[in-house]
Amino acid sequence: MSTPSAAAGNVVENLENAGRLVDQHIKADQSFWELSGQLTITTHQTSNASGNTDRDYPAVQSYWPALESMPFLGEVNCTPLPPELVQAFENMQCNCAVGLMPLIARAWLTIDSTIYIWSYEDGKDLAYFDGLNEVILTAGLLKPKEGVFQEHIEYLLCLTTPVEIVVLGVSFTGSPSDPYSEMHLQPEPLFNLPSDNVNMLSVLGSPEGRIFLAGKDGCLYEVVYQAEEGWFSSKCRKVNHSVSRLSFLVPSFLTFSEDPLLQIVIDGSRHILYTRSQSGTIQVYDLGLDGHSLSRVDSMQQGSMVQRACYAARSMDQSLFKPIVHMAIIPMSDSSTLHLMAVTQAGVRFYFTTTPNGIHGRPSLLAMVHVRLPPGHSPSSTIPKLGSTVHQSFYRRGTLLLSSSMMEDRDQLWIMDPDMFPFQPTVIESVISRPLEGHTWAIAEAIQPGDLEAVASLTPLPPLVVTQHVRPPRRFILLTTQGCYVITRLRPVDQLQSLFETSKGAAGDAVQSFFALHKEVQACAMALILATSPNQQLAFWATEAFFKYGGEPHIVFPGSGGMYPLGGGGGIVTSTPMTPLAQQQYSTPVHGQTPSSLPHPYNSSVVMNTPGSYGNLQGTAGSAGALGRAVVGPEVVLSGKHDGLCRYLARLLRPLWNEQVAVFYKPPGDMQAEQVVSAYTSEELSAFMEQMYSLKCFIDLNSRLLSALSSRPGSSASPANIHQRVLSYMRPEGMVTTSPNQVQTTLLEKYKADAQVYEQNSLHNICSLVTQCCESLSLWKLVCEHELHVVAEGLSQQERQQLVATTFRALIVSSRPLISSVISALLNRYAGDVNMTESLSSRLLEVAPSLYSQDDAIASKARELVTVARTIQNREEQLQRLKESVMYYSKVISRINLPSVCELCRDLKFYSGIVELALCAAGVKDRKNLAIHFYKSGQPQQDVNGQAAYIERQRCYSIVTSTLQQLLVQEQPAKRPSSVPAQPGPPSPMVERQQPSDPHEEFDELLTMCLRSDDELFHVTLYSWMITAPVNLTDRLVQIRTPYIEPFLKHMVASQQQDILMFLNLLWRYYEKNKNYSAAAKILDQLANIQSPNLTLDQRVEYISRAVMCAKSCNLATSGSSIGEFLHELEDKMEVARIQLNIVEAVKSLQPQTSNTRAAVEMLTRELMDISKLYGDFADPFQLSECKLSIIHCAGHYDSILVESLWTEIIDKEVALAKKQSVENQMQGVYTKLIQLGQVYIHSERFFPLEHIISVLEKYSCQQHWRVDFVYSTLHKVGVSLQTLFDIYNRLFKSKLPFWQFIHQPLSIIYSLHCFYRDNPSLIPAYERSAFKAMVLDAISVYLVELHTATPSAAGDLQMKFRQLQTHIQGLYMDRDR
């Protein structure tokens, strides 16, 4: 299959662009104000106030009269009390108490010693417990500690009486849709504790299963229980946390308090407990980081609260600020810095924090930081005041319910919440009131699925408009004397639905006003919720409103007074006049603004350091571009339809967009490796898919959303292109008209057309993303249905790690290779099962056609052929199937997992398939051959495309080289099975005998296949691998005969710095193997002279020696003059190199070794030097006489004085070395040196001055008492002829040098001559004896005359010896002559 085309590449880019839009809209939904910022709280040391302006509690109807009929509450249901309870009231004697248990959808009522529990939804399933003898004061439903009770006990029911505390077990039977349909109370108490005559007025459990009680004595108690009794603790006991640890020693009747505790609340997100007493004192307790400890932190009395409230709201009567009737926690899901809220009898709210300046940490104080007045306290308010009759209150997730007494049997319900006005910089609440029949006993909210998880969130949750598409309307339960009221608070989308139903369509002022109130983007997002609902009539109305009020895209320009729009009615341009309230609606804080100079996070202009909290508002939606970006040039403002679609899509994807698709899971007790399991269940994925397919269906049915794009040139979706084109319209030469009105009209048309083209391109991307989301989720659900943990076993470890690290965003937008691997693993799970594979392939084509195409089906067919081939025994038939599979794979090479397929071929020893597929994939991924150009250009970093192509090709080639390496390092094949048959008889014809394969033969075969390729870059990769292979393959490399090996080696030599020596060595060896001796000699010469610390002098000399040999071989083959000159040059270099070696040895032998000598050795071994440098820098400074002699001899520089002086120095040095040794050792040292040097210079008379050498040696012979024959015998052994020696000695005698007189041995030379003549006559050749005899006898005559004139004492003996010698020579030669 070919590589992805430009269109396919654009698809990925378009998905990424749409994904970025989703990111931006998710971020926009997270850009809501933190509650402390909305209340402009600056520090915990002071308090401020709000609620005293009309803006705090706006009357929507006064701005949009058409919305006067818009409902805020749904149907109110009132379920009467069960008749059994009404009858029981008639028999009440002492006390009754009531309450709600929203966790299990129950209400409870105690009458004397009996408790009744029933369903507040329908008044049924009445249960009671009458096993107590005392009056029940209060009751509480609690969550038990884990591991203490049996599994069927889901909750605990704690009952308190004046004398005891009883804990009962509660269990349920029901269906998955209604798990609490039937309630069962355990007849026997789990625990029973004495109350010590303390009336408990309230019971509350913590999320960790702790049980707290509020005592009438003002103390906080806890029932501590555990599974088994300990050494020093009972199974259940009561602890008083308000007194010391030794309080149990004091009798209860000695303790007293006049301030009973009325209420306990626990913040499970922060592990903080609060108590409220009858006098209004609030106390704070820290439960510890894990919620398992308790320590008192701080308290605040009602008087202090009133004082701070009066300071914050100076114009208000202090009677509004007391007494406190209720308190509620503000969990971290509501605010990260505000922790508690208290409500007074007048409906005033106090906000508290427990940390200084709102910093995160454990509680350390209790400070009131804000006072919010109830509605009706602004000067021009039309909302009536609540009065000071509030007796019941409830607060949760920003919604406050107050019940105030209108008369004895009638209450007024007040509801205040900010859901109508999200994303505001201040708290703006809608106010709803309605009468209630009866007196309100308790208020609670019905627990919806996900509510508990939301409350437990450690980050502030977004406003209701963000989640209303998945959150049902909130339902509040009010237990009164007349029964249980169930009141539904409508969501904004429910209000829009009601307006549609009231108006019988979208063409009404009410719907238009709703869009003006909520602004186009938010209203269009709500309309999409209804447009994708199964109610066809409602969907039609919502679709009509979406297109009618969604606006149009337009372009805005920066002007002197802000931004002014041109070309449409999008953005904030509406048909309704802009009101002050509308200008603030959905104003969004600037993302990421965090001034560092502000000292604490309470400042309203600070971005709170928690997710979901943002800083001060910097501008309204009317003065910014898309998603609040500042406009710095011509800016396209997209329509509400576009942004509403993006916002709704972002909200659908928000729960999973940035979440992992899978996680590692290790089953309990399973010692095996971790399994990969889906992060979402199939049921959860089905819910997401249902919403996504509904949106896709809406898009498919409304083709007008994607009208045809303009065919004008330059109609791309690039904002930069838009800016350039818009600016070009403003140039005078761009307008061919004279009418100003016509100019304006033409400009508006062009601006509008460009904005529409830009929006249409963006909408196409969004719709593509919606389709991709549907397919990706469907595919993932299909994989989960086939057991993801089993499918994941077919992935590599790296792919499993990548899968766990992948988010749904990446899976949908950019993880095509990973998806392909998962699909392959899914199909491989059923490999061999043809029917299942075909069924699964058809299912994949159905649910994910863009992720599993027809090409993928071809790849599946190829996999099946490989699977079948694995089961075939006949090798020829097996190879046929494998060749067919490779043919199929080659057609879809870009869609397969190449390493996995090649691994299958490797297992089946189908190596030609590996080479074919790898090279095919490399060619497909680099059709323009950018990689080879990148390689030959020296791999420049700026060539990004070439580098990418090079990397892709290397990944393909590595599959072949890894196969080669595997074969290379394999051990010898196992012992061949015996060929002896197990039973007599002919061999069975049914079984084909397969000879065991030899890895070396397979390696040779595969390497031969590789070398046949015409892919030059593959050859480069292959040769590089051969160089670095674990087994040395360089000998084989230089024997390769391909047109690519020599260019490869040359390229590596030219481009490498560190490994240049290795490649130069390979290059000369290659040339030598190919008998290109001239090129080999030149490379060797280059190696010898290269600058490298890794080469020793010996190696350089060896390179020169090899170069000489190659040059000589080339000289024999050719007769060119140039090679002869080169050979001569190499020989000269060789001679100089030898001298350099000698100098190195000489310097090393110098004693003592100094820094200079060591530095000299280092320099000499680093490189080859010319002869002048050797002499001037080393031989001469270090007085290396022998080396200097060899240098001048090599250079042909003759200076007799210099030569003689050097010989003198050489002899002097040898004599000095053995000066303290015996005479024999001295002679031996000189003898060795003369033999060594004589052999070198014997044929160079100018550099071997015999007369001077003999003179010096004879002098030392006299001085050191050497043997008389030592000098001439040594020189004769060197190769000096006797005739030459006789002549030199004779001349020395006749020269009569004064030295002999000086040492008092004037006859030393004559004596040496005597010995010479005496010992050597027999060595004279026969044809020279006559001449020699005459010459010697003449010389003896001269010597006798000379001795006759000498002093008798010195010459007498010599005369006699010479006469005897004369007679001897005459007789000797006569006898021999005869």
Mean pLDDT of the chain: 80
The predicted model gives 575-579 an average pLDDT of 34
- Asked whether the predicted pLDDT for residue 500 surpasses 80, the reply is yes
The listed range with the strongest mean pLDDT (404-413, 420-429, 603-612) is 420-429
- Asked whether the predicted pLDDT for residue 325 surpasses 80, the reply is yes
Compare 757 and 230 and report the one with higher pLDDT. Answer: 757
Q: Rounded to whole angstroms, how far apart are CA atoms 489 and 486?
A: 10
- Asked whether the predicted pLDDT for residue 679 surpasses 60, the reply is yes
| Structure tokens belonging to residue 486 | 């169930």
Q: What is the pLDDT of residues 279-305, one digit of tens each?
A: 999 999 999 999 999 999 999 999 999
The partner residues of 873 in beta bridges, in order of sequence, read none
Flag whether the pTM goes above 0.75: no
pLDDT score of 493: 94
3-state secondary structure (DSSP) of residue 405: strand
Q: Rounded to whole angstroms, how far apart are CA atoms 1068 and 1102?
A: 13
H-only helix segments in 1056-1170: 1060-1073, 1077-1089, 1097-1117, 1121-1149, 1155-1166
CB-count exposure of residue 827 (10 Å: 0-12, 13-18, 19+)? buried
- Asked whether the predicted pLDDT for residue 1289 surpasses 80, the reply is no
Count other C-beta atoms under 10 Å from residue 1328's C-beta.
13
- Asked whether the predicted pLDDT for residue 164 surpasses 80, the reply is yes
| Structure tokens belonging to residue 758 | 């830009």
pLDDT score of 717: 46
Q: Rounded to whole angstroms, how far apart are CA atoms 257 and 218?
A: 6
Q: Identify the DSSP state of 1175.
A: I
H-only helix segments in 230-380: 302-312
Q: What is the pLDDT of residues 62-86, one digit of tens each?
A: 888 888 889 999 988 898 988 888 8
The residue whose two tokens read 């701080």 is 298
Q: Rounded to whole angstroms, how far apart are CA atoms 341 and 984?
A: 99
The partner residues of 184 in beta bridges, in order of sequence, read 171
The residue whose two tokens read 């919403």 is 691
Q: Which of 1370, 1279, 1283 is nearest to 1325 (CA)?
A: 1283
pLDDT score of 833: 76
Query: Is residue 116 a contact partner of residue 107, using CB atoms and an 8 Å limit?
Result: no
- Asked whether the predicted pLDDT for residue 447 surpasses 60, the reply is yes
| Structure tokens belonging to residue 1330 | 């006559």
Q: Rounded to whole angstroms, how far apart are CA atoms 1324 and 1303?
A: 33
Count other C-beta atoms under 10 Å from residue 744's C-beta.
11
Q: Rounded to whole angstroms, how far apart are CA atoms 844 and 849?
A: 7
- Asked whether the predicted pLDDT for residue 1365 surpasses 80, the reply is no
Compare 1374 and 907 and report the one with higher pLDDT. Answer: 907
Q: Rounded to whole angstroms, how far apart are CA atoms 1172 and 1177?
A: 8
If you write DSSP's letter for every residue of 45-74 in order, what string do you get? TS-EEE--STTTS--HHHH-GGGGG--SB-
Choice among 153-162, 519-528, 1332-1341 with the minimum mean pLDDT: 1332-1341
pLDDT score of 613: 30
pLDDT score of 1179: 77
If you write DSSP's letter for every residue of 331-350 in order, what string do you get? -TTT-SS--EEEEETTS-EE
Q: Identify the DSSP state of 33.
A: B
- Asked whether the predicted pLDDT for residue 498 surpasses 60, the reply is yes
- 2 contact partners, CB below 8 Å, separation of at least 6: 894, 924, 927
Q: What is the pLDDT of residues 1198-1208, one digit of tens each?
A: 788 888 788 88
Q: Rounded to whole angstroms, how far apart are CA atoms 160 and 167?
A: 9
* Strands 282-286 vs 272-277: parallel, antiparallel or unpaired: antiparallel
- Asked whether the predicted pLDDT for residue 581 surpasses 60, the reply is no
Centroid of chain to Cα 557: 41
Q: Rounded to whole angstroms, how far apart are CA atoms 974 and 996?
A: 8
pLDDT score of 485: 93
The residue whose two tokens read 């504790």 is 193
Choice among 367-376, 620-629, 1243-1252 with the minimum mean pLDDT: 620-629
Q: What is the pLDDT of residues 867-921, one digit of tens each?
A: 878 888 888 888 888 888 888 888 888 878 888 888 888 888 888 888 999 999 9
Centroid of chain to Cα 32: 30
Confidence grade of residue 594 (pLDDT, cut at 50, 70, 90): very low
| Structure tokens belonging to residue 327 | 């308190």
Confidence grade of residue 779 (pLDDT, cut at 50, 70, 90): very high
pLDDT score of 257: 54
- Asked whether the predicted pLDDT for residue 101 surpasses 80, the reply is yes
Q: Rounded to whole angstroms, how far apart are CA atoms 240 and 200?
A: 12
Confidence grade of residue 1364 (pLDDT, cut at 50, 70, 90): low
Q: Which residues of 803-822 are buried (b: 16+ CB within 10 A; e: fewer)?
A: bbebbbbbbbbebbebbbbb
Q: What is the pLDDT of residues 993-1009, one digit of tens each?
A: 444 467 788 888 888 88
Confidence grade of residue 268 (pLDDT, cut at 50, 70, 90): very high
The residue whose two tokens read 């913590």 is 206
pLDDT score of 570: 35
The predicted model gives 191-200 an average pLDDT of 91
Query: Is residue 591 a contact partner of residue 614, using CB atoms and an 8 Å limit?
Result: yes
| Structure tokens belonging to residue 697 | 């269906």
CB-count exposure of residue 156 (10 Å: 0-12, 13-18, 19+)? buried
- Asked whether the predicted pLDDT for residue 495 surpasses 90, the reply is yes
- Give the rounded percent of residues in the chain with a pLDDT score beyond 90: 30
| Structure tokens belonging to residue 869 | 């081939």
The residue whose two tokens read 């004064």 is 1298
Count other C-beta atoms under 10 Å from residue 920's C-beta.
18
- Asked whether the predicted pLDDT for residue 170 surpasses 60, the reply is yes
- Asked whether the predicted pLDDT for residue 521 surpasses 90, the reply is yes
The listed range with the strongest mean pLDDT (207-211, 669-673, 897-901) is 207-211
- Phi, psi for residue 966 in degrees, rounded to 5: -60, -45
Choice among 202-216, 1017-1031, 1115-1129 with the minimum mean pLDDT: 1115-1129
| Structure tokens belonging to residue 959 | 């599959």
pLDDT score of 1322: 58
Confidence grade of residue 363 (pLDDT, cut at 50, 70, 90): very high
pLDDT score of 536: 93
Q: Rounded to whole angstroms, how far apart are CA atoms 476 and 76?
A: 10
Q: What is the pLDDT of residues 1147-1190, one digit of tens each?
A: 888 878 888 888 887 887 778 888 788 877 887 787 787 788 87
